[in-house]
Amino acid sequence: MWLRFILGIALALLLGGQASAYRAYVANERSNTVSLIDTDSWKVVKTIEVGQRPRGIAYTKDQKYVLVACGDDDTIQMIDTSTNTVSGTLPSGPDPEFFTASPDGKFLYVANENDNTVTIIDIARRAQNGAVQVGVEPEGMAMSPDGKILINTSETTNMAHFIDPAKREVVASVLVDQRPRFAAFTPDGSELWVSSEVGGTVSVIDPVKRVVKQKIEFAIAGMRPDPIQPVGINITSDGKLAFIALGPANHVAVVDVKTHKVIKYLLVGERVWHMAFTPDGKYLLTANGVSNDVSVIDVAALKVVNTVQVGELPWGIAMSDH
Amino acid sequence: MKHAGFFFVLLVIVSALVAPARAADPRYPDWPCVQPKVPELSTASMWDGPSIADVGGSWQNDPKVKDLVALIAARRTPMDAAQKAIAAFITGTADEKQQKAKEVFAGVFDTLSAQRSEVMGGLERVSRKEMDLATKIEADVNDLHAIEDKTGADQAKIKTLGSEIEWSTRIFEDRRKTIRYVCDVPTTIEQRIFGLARAIEQALN
């Protein structure tokens, strides 16, 4: 009886431990590497050599690969997650920076910074499947939860382009503040949030009417407005809180999604860029480009609880499902 | 005429090298770096601890704080040694620790911000010299073309002007490499302030 009880506890502890250990892949733009962080020990367990200037990074839906956009090599590399080595490439356009996948995981939509296009890639065939002309310097990419609208932001045109993925054409464009960097839908698809790096705001767009319904502004006590440059946006799966990375302000703003009010600013690392939640929603990891580290935010406590040193100029993070 | 093609190419290169520096940010025409110029740092972007507004320059009155700041601000002191020195100093009651932390951070921020401003001022001075030199090279190349285009051109003059242009270009290129290297220094200083601020806060908590 006792033996069974002890074994039961041991098993529960073991499974509990395993359940929280996710893998975070961090693209280091300057050192041309990807750091693999174990979220149980909060340590870098492997550093993977990749192509030049790795930035956008994400898992494939089947979790077999981590894709990383290597801008200066004009390609997307595929890291095999069973061996943690680069095992193939996908053909993007010139200078790929960021990408998003179709909800079924079959197609990849890639923003190519240098030729004003979004390239569509068939992941299984590892081949291009078309392209959509967008504004100058395309960057942010987001797919609506229902998969019907693809968003691309163009840094120089200052617009969020609404793309019909079936027709492969821009069906609407919404003007936002200067240098839009990133786009994210709320989980229910009712709002589209677009960050403007130079404008210093996040535009909240009604995706049905396709108009900006509110702009969120940021102010940190004792700081001039110029370093406040919003980039990454991550919204909790329950749709209650949004975290906005404020670049060289070194802070992440926590915003109440319902009221659009900032409720807290968290000091993380220097030049905070893109972020990723652990799948259980307990932690948010932030890539800090100048301090060359990743901050770990406890989402419930709204507190930075750990810092992990990675490679040079960490840009973005891909998080495993399990 | 044999120099003309070479110096034309040179002129294009020099102009191209100078142009991005001038165009980067209209507010700072002399700023030569790809990295955007941030004239002043704010403590709010580095420090989450108690306000240092009441500290001012008073940290300099305590020789122990002054010595510690000099030690940890120096680039030759490894970060882990700096962290240990900070932890060894910030001790005592909660109030004592808080006061010490405020003074050490104020000292670090003042010292390293001043160093950063000095480096940035130096970069802009060199950048202005570089632009003046580019203008001189441009004028010399035009003079050379004018002389070469004349019939019965003075070969001795062409030779002297040619070697002067080559020499100026070499200086220009050397300075450009130095500027590129020094452009990273303000960021390195910021990293140091940020790292020390974190270590001070850790010692405090």
- pLDDT tens digits, A107-165: 999 998 878 889 999 999 999 999 998 888 899 999 999 999 999 999 889 999 999 99
CB < 8 Å to A291, chain B: 191, 194-195
Q: Quick one: which of B1, B2, B8 has its CA closest to B137?
A: B8
- Cβ distance A220 to B195 less than 8 Å, yes or no, reads no
Give me the long-range contacts of B25-34 (CB less than 8 A, separation at least 24): B28/B124, B30/B124, B30/B127, B30/B128, B30/B131, B31/B123, B31/B124, B31/B127, B32/B123, B32/B124, B32/B126, B32/B127, B32/B130, B32/B179, B32/B183, B33/B123, B33/B179, B33/B180, B33/B183, B34/B183
Of A224, A249, A291, the CB nearest to B194: A291
- Ordered DSSP codes for A149-172: -EEEEETTTTEEEEEETTTTEEEE
CB < 8 Å to A292, chain B: 191
pLDDT single digits (tens) A198-224: 999 999 999 999 999 999 999 999 898
Phi and psi based region of residue A250 (left: phi greater than 0; alpha: psi -120 to 50; beta: remaining)? left
Cross-strand bridge partners of residue A175: A159
Provide the pLDDT confidence category of residue A93 given band limits of 50, 70 and 90. Answer: confident
Q: Which of helix, strand or coil describes residue B58?
A: helix
Measured in angstroms, the CA of A269 and the nearest CA of chain B are apart by 8
CA dist A306 and A296 (Å) reads 5
Cα-based angle B156, B160, B161 (whole degrees, multiple of 5): 115
Q: Which of B34, B47, B194, B196 to mutate to test the interface with A (most CBs of A within 10 A)?
A: B194
B198 interfacial to chain A (CB closer than 8 Å): yes
- Cβ distance B191 to A290 less than 8 Å, yes or no, reads yes
CA dist B164 and B180 (Å) reads 24
A290 interfacial to chain B (CB closer than 8 Å): yes
Q: Quick one: which of B8, B1, B2, B23 has its CA closest to B165?
A: B8
- Tell whether the model's pLDDT for residue A264 goes beyond 90: yes
**Residue B192 CA, distance from chain mean position:** 15
Query: β-strand A211-217 against A201-206: which pairing, if any?
Result: antiparallel
B46 interfacial to chain A (CB closer than 8 Å): yes
CB < 8 Å to A227, chain B: 38, 42, 45
pLDDT single digits (tens) B113-138: 999 999 999 999 999 999 999 999 99
B195 interfacial to chain A (CB closer than 8 Å): yes
What is the predicted pLDDT for the residue at B16? 56
B28 interfacial to chain A (CB closer than 8 Å): no
Helices and strands of chain A, counted as H and E runs:
1, 28
- Cβ distance A248 to B194 less than 8 Å, yes or no, reads no
pTM to 2 decimal places: 0.85
Lowest mean pLDDT among A60-69, A238-247, B2-11, B145-154: B2-11
**Count of CB pairs separated by less than 8 Å, A with B:** 37
Nearest CA in chain A to B186: A290
Q: Quick one: which of A192, A130, A179, A132 has its CA closest to A153?
A: A179
B62: exposed, middle or buried (Cβ count in 10 Å: 0-12, 13-18, 19+): middle
Of A220, A290, A292, the CB nearest to B44: A220
Measured in angstroms, the CA of A231 and the nearest CA of chain B are apart by 16
Provide the pLDDT confidence category of residue B25 given band limits of 50, 70 and 90. Answer: confident
Q: Are A93 and A111 contacting, i.e. CB atoms less than 8 angstroms apart?
A: no
A115 interfacial to chain B (CB closer than 8 Å): no
Provide the pLDDT confidence category of residue A16 given band limits of 50, 70 and 90. Answer: very low
pLDDT single digits (tens) A225-249: 989 999 999 999 999 999 999 999 9
Q: Are A287 and A314 contacting, i.e. CB atoms less than 8 angstroms apart?
A: yes
Percent of chain B exceeding pLDDT 70 equals 88
Q: Which of B45, B51, B188 to mutate to test the interface with A (most CBs of A within 10 A)?
A: B45
A291 interfacial to chain B (CB closer than 8 Å): yes
B38 interfacial to chain A (CB closer than 8 Å): yes
Cα-based angle A35, A41, A42 (whole degrees, multiple of 5): 45
Find tokens 């070479």 and name the residue: B6
Q: Which residues contact B177 (CB under 8 A, 6 or more apart)?
A: none
